[in-house]
Amino acid sequence: MGRAGVSPLPCCPPHILGAMSLRGDLLTLIDPRAALNLPPADGGNRAVVGRIGEQAVGLAVDEVHDVVYLQSEVL
C-alpha cells in the first residue's frame, strides 16, 4: 500500500497493512475496510492507535477529527 514507515508482513490477509514502530512500540496497522469489502483508505498516513494491555494496534482512517484519551476505569 506504500505507507511510510510501515513494513509489510508476508503471508497476512489484505486487511493487515503491516507493522510499524511508534515511539518505540511495535504495532500492527490494520485497514478494516478490506475485511468488510469496502474501498481501501485514501492513501494518507493517518491512523487511530489503541492499546489493550501491552498490545498496541493502529487502524487506518481517512480523517481524525479529535483525540480523546480514556482511562482504563472508563472501559
Lowest-confidence range among 11-25, 34-48, 54-68?
Answer: 34-48
Residue 74 lies in a domain: no
Residue 30 lies in a domain: yes
Q: How far is CA 60 from the centre of its chain?
A: 5
Structure confidence at residue 1 as a pLDDT band (50, 70, 90)? very low
Residue 1 lies in a domain: no
The CA distance from 3 to 8, in Å, is: 9
Residue 5 lies in a domain: no
Q: 37 is in which domain, residue-wise?
A: 16-60
Number of domains in the chain: 1
Residue 24 lies in a domain: yes
Summarize pLDDT for 6-22 with one digit per residue, the tens: 888 999 998 888 888 88
Residue 21 lies in a domain: yes
Cell of 6: 510501515
Whether 53 shows a pLDDT value over 50: the answer reads yes
Residue 68 lies in a domain: no
